[in-house]
Amino acid sequence: MPEGKPAYVRCVQLTADNLCLLFGKPERPAVCGSLRASVEMCGASNEEAAERLTLIEVATRPAPVG
């Protein structure tokens, strides 16, 4: 994704069973390798992760210009 991955867009490197095709490869973005998932961030299920990550996305969204 040379233009970056917008919020709410599924990464093209993510498989149907939610594994990263670039895991362990040098071309994996540094930000992905540095992210440390936690229970606070992801909860205990896909549903909880989606809910919590949406809240984080909204809370950290840049303010509109103008």
Binding interface with ligand SF4 (CB under 6 A): 11, 13-14, 20, 22, 28-29, 32
Q: In this complex, which beta carbon is closest to ligand SF4, that of residue 32 or of residue 55?
A: 32
Q: In this complex, which beta carbon is closest to ligand SF4, that of residue 11 or of residue 55?
A: 11
3-state secondary structure (DSSP) of residue 14: strand
Cα 25 to its chain centre, rounded Å, is: 18
Q: State the alpha helices, DSSP H only, in the chain.
A: 30-34, 39-42, 46-59
Q: How far is the CB of 15 from ligand SF4 (least distance, A)?
A: 8
Q: How far is the CB of 64 from ligand SF4 (least distance, A)?
A: 26
